[in-house]
Structure 1
Amino acid sequence: MHSPKKSWILTVACMLMLCSMAILSSELEAQHRGEPGNVRGRRDMQKRMEEMQKRQAEKQFERLCNYLELDKKQKKKARKLFKDMHKKIVKVAREMREGKLDQSEASEKRIKIYMDYRQKFRDLLSPEQNEKYEKLRVRGLRSDS
């Protein structure tokens, strides 16, 4: 039987070997697809960033719905609008990364997508909710300046 110290060293060595094999496997898989090894890492990082941005946007959406006191029907329609807008924004970001759009074209598209979303969102609101929304928007614009 091994001593505790030898067992610990053996465990660490095995873990290092497994990590090395996982990295090598990933690199070989990427090379097999004809990609440099770090492309996959960048894609994974980009996907994680998109997920994080989506979660943050969903939290903001929830706070907005709560602030405006949307009923279930309004919230359901608003969520669909929000998801559609988010998909379009992500598509524009991908097109820009792929070189299909330059910065100004992407910015123009994002503004158009957001303005369209905002108008459709406002159409769901009652006059009182619209007033609250406008006050919130103006307050937000002032704090950005």
Structure 2
Amino acid sequence: MEKLTFKTSINAPRNKVWEVLWGEQSYPAWTAVFAEGSKMETDWQVGGRTLFVDGSNDGMVSTIAAKVPNEYLSFKHLGYIKGGVEDLTSEKVKDWAGATENYTLTEAGGETSLLVEVEMEEAYKDFFFTTFPKALDKVKELAEKG
């Protein structure tokens, strides 16, 4: 597993960036670069269930590992969901289960620094290197809007 780091500076307060990242309307807008129709279903509880799915309802089963509103959110990925069926135990899943995805927001002078750290398999590295900067550009655009 490899950890990739992405960072951007956003001319908006931390709570606005948080709202864009996790808002019901804005989340699909910035994550569309990963997969059209992306959405997140969560109970927002640490240790609770979180699904990241695309327009076909395929995606990942995860949990919130840690949460400090407007500052830090950590997801721990547990498995896949395909055609409505969860896979938490196959060999393919075991190769990456436990990978984390962390979002850290720090604010200074009305500007927010967003740091994203993602653990992943080598096979997805190029995709994320290309796609995550586009996603963060969209977060920046949405957060800086009037």
Q: Shorter-normalised TM-score: what interval?
A: under 0.3
User: Higher helix proportion, which one?
Assistant: 1
Q: TM-score, normalised by structure 2?
A: 0.27
- Indicate the structure (1 or 2) with the bigger Cα radius of gyration: 1
Higher relative contact order (CA 8 A, sep 6+): 2
User: Higher strand proportion, which one?
Assistant: 2
